[in-house]
Amino acid sequence: MTARPASPSGQAEFLILSDRLGINPGVMVHPRTELSFALARRRCGNCTAEEKCRTALCQPEVALSAVAPFCPNVDLLVELLCRQPGAPA
């Protein structure tokens, strides 16, 4: 089986989704999350659920629960949300 080439647009979806979820880009460069973020962008670029992701992003409000069933990065998105300033400890 041949791997699908990484899609730059898939990586863009990760950034758009992060923004729509309210994730501050500053937490993505934290030493503890920087590698995870780079891997997540790569996963997103290779994702086969691009159509589902785009459909979710077209909605007026995007919730993590809307993408959780198909997003391979949901674990990182939860981690990034927890690292937001003012997030519950």
pLDDT for res 58: 92
Residue 51 placed within a domain = yes
CA distance 5 to 47: 10
Residue 49 placed within a domain = yes
Over residues 36-66, the pLDDT tens digits come to 778 888 888 888 998 999 999 999 999 999 9
Residue 87 placed within a domain = no
Residue 67 has pLDDT above 90, yes or no: yes
Give the relative orientation of helices 8-20 and 34-45 as an angle to the nearest 10 degrees. 120
Residue 76 placed within a domain = yes
**Which residues 6+ apart lie within 8 Å of 18 measured at CB?**
25, 28, 77, 80
Per the structure, the count of domains in the chain is 1
Give the relative orientation of helices 74-82 and 34-45 as an angle to the nearest 10 degrees. 150
Over residues 9-46, the pLDDT tens digits come to 567 888 889 889 988 877 767 777 778 778 888 888 88
Residue 42 placed within a domain = yes
Q: Which domain holds residue 59?
A: 31-82
Residue 73 or residue 25, greater confidence: 73
Around Cβ 62, how many Cβ atoms within 10 Å? 18
Asked if residue 20 lies in contact with residue 57, where contact means CB atoms within 8 angstroms, the answer is yes
